[in-house]
Amino acid sequence: MGVKITETILRDAHQSLIATRMSTEQMLPIIDKMDQVGYHAVECWGGATFDSCLRFLKEDPWERLRKLRDGFKNTKLQMLFRGQNILGYSQYPDDVVEYFVQKSIANGIDIIRIFDCLNDVRNLQTAVNATKKEGGHAQVALSYTLGDAYTMDYWMETAKKIEDMGADSICIKDMAGLLIPTKATELVTALKSATTLPIDLHTHYTSGVASMTYLKAVEAGCDIIDTAMSPLALGTSQPATEVMVKAFQDTEYDTGLDLNKLIEIANYFAPIREEALKSGLLNPKVLGVNIQTLKYQVPGGMLSNLVSQLKEQGAEDKYEEVLNEVPRVRKDLGEPPLVTPSSQIVGTQAVFNVLTGERYKVATAQTKDILLGKYGQTVKPFNPEVVEKVLGEDAKNAITCRPADLLEPGLAKFEEEMKQYKQQDEDVLSYALFPQVATEFFKYREAQQTGVDAKAADSENKAYPV
């Protein structure tokens, strides 16, 4: 049985390399050809695309999804979903999570990849249940990372929990490119022995080993790999689709995909890459191998965030010091995987620790929230000295339950707050996730008099549960 390919050029590839700036207009002309390829799925929504559509491109993300659905007649569409955080950075009540899943599937999503930045399975269950209820495919992702706590037993036990919670497949989400080839063999073999679910591997080329990692993973039984068309592949993106297809050609893992079709698609995206290089949107720096990734276990996007934070403070000379501080902060905070939003929390705290000259002299609100249990449970306990210094008396208010259990239902409140702008049911969700950005977009939409196409909008699925 050949390995299957999930194509990421319409989501993670442009998010990783050109700041999620590919517009719907740039996507639509090539969709018909992409639909003929025979991909397992095309990842085209979720992650940072939603925010970027509203904030930078002045597009309605829901309209983008509907247009993509109209074009992809034979191909499954996939999105990335941050568990109880949906596509934002904080936890949302269950009714908002459920309604977002419902609307995503009603507007065209088939597969929802659900992850949690702490691998706390309690933060995944609501989204998994809602996806199953709507007839979608719930793929649960393990946020892959390294550290004392992350043994093969840990990954196998977590995978078993994922299968028990009703997931349809498992994704190894290697957001920082830390999975090296030999470990991929071990990990895939272990997961295959622990569960009966199909395994999808997602990695980034940041550390330079991703193609070799895919090869070893597939040989070990990995069912699906995530790749990007070559113009927006490599660097902080995924390995190139055409290269992986060629690598497996005429072997037992042959993808069966037509290289000539893929080359035609690559030729379409090539000018978009050139344009991004000329405008500076695509920084050649992110295309190289960054070996710091393996040394500091820091995702590529987090590295660039640290650089810009230090630049703003005129403290670029502190870069190395901050990189050394990141693993220490991570350990203090229970050794979480570094993925949105935990990567930003750890990175920003490391910057403060270095710039103030005293560790935790200044603690961010998000650092406090992690220590208070508001993001969920970490694999390791927190450093008690840090808890004492940062929280003091507040430490007694820490929670151990699932954070969303403490949240009141929120849909009615969001609906009330934004009703003057509402043109479709989905607008409530755009507002719930990004209130200021969505309000700006709604005002822009009114000024441009570009209303929602009422015929295309989903009007059957009312507030959840019906």
- Cα–Cα dist 203/143, whole Å: 11
d(CA 12, CA 228): 8
Within a domain: residue 368?
A: yes
Can you tell me the distance from the alpha carbon of 341 to that of 466, in angstroms, rounded to the nearest whole number? 32
Q: Are residues 260 and 313 in the same domain?
A: no
Domain span at residue 382?
A: 298-400
- For residue 464, what pLDDT is reported? 46
Which tens digits make up the pLDDT trace of 162-216? Answer: 999 999 999 999 999 999 999 999 999 999 999 999 999 999 999 999 999 999 9
In the chain, the N- to C-terminal Cα span, in Å, equals 42
Which of 224, 256, 284 marks a domain boundary?
284
Same domain, 266 and 310: no
DSSP 401: S
**Do 35 and 168 fall within a single domain?**
yes
Same domain assignment for residues 78 and 224: yes
Whether 304 and 222 map to the same domain: the answer is: no
The stretch 39-67 carries a mean pLDDT of 97
Q: Which string of DSSP letters, residue by residue, matches 408-447? A: PP-HHHHHHHHGGG-SSTHHHHHHHH-HHHHHHHHHHHHH
User: 326 and 393 in one domain?
Assistant: yes
* Domain identity same for 342 and 277: no
- Per-residue pLDDT tens digits for 363-405: 999 999 999 999 999 999 999 999 999 999 999 999 999 999 9
Tell me, yes or no, whether 9 and 80 share the same domain. Answer: yes
Q: Identify the residue with better confidence: 344 or 406.
A: 406
Q: What mean pLDDT do residues 104-131 have?
A: 98
Domain final residue pick, 347, 378, 400: 400
Q: Decide if pLDDT at 466 tops 50.
A: no
Determine the angle formed by the axes of helices 210-219 and 181-194, rounding to 10 degrees.
Answer: 40
pTM recorded for the entire structure:
0.95
Please check whether residues 30 and 173 belong to one and the same domain.
Answer: yes
434 belongs to a structural domain: no
CATH label of the domain that carries residue 83: 3.20.20.70
Residue 198 falls in which region: left (phi positive, over 0), alpha (psi -120 to 50) or beta: beta
Pair 31, 113 in one domain: yes
Q: In the listed set 251, 284, 317, which residue is the last one of a domain according to the structure?
A: 284
DSSP 239: P
Instruction: Give strand pairing partners of 137.
Output: 111
* 278 and 302 fall within a common domain: no
Structurally, how many domains does the chain consist of? 2
258 and 358 both lie in a single domain? no
Does a structural domain hold residue 455?
no
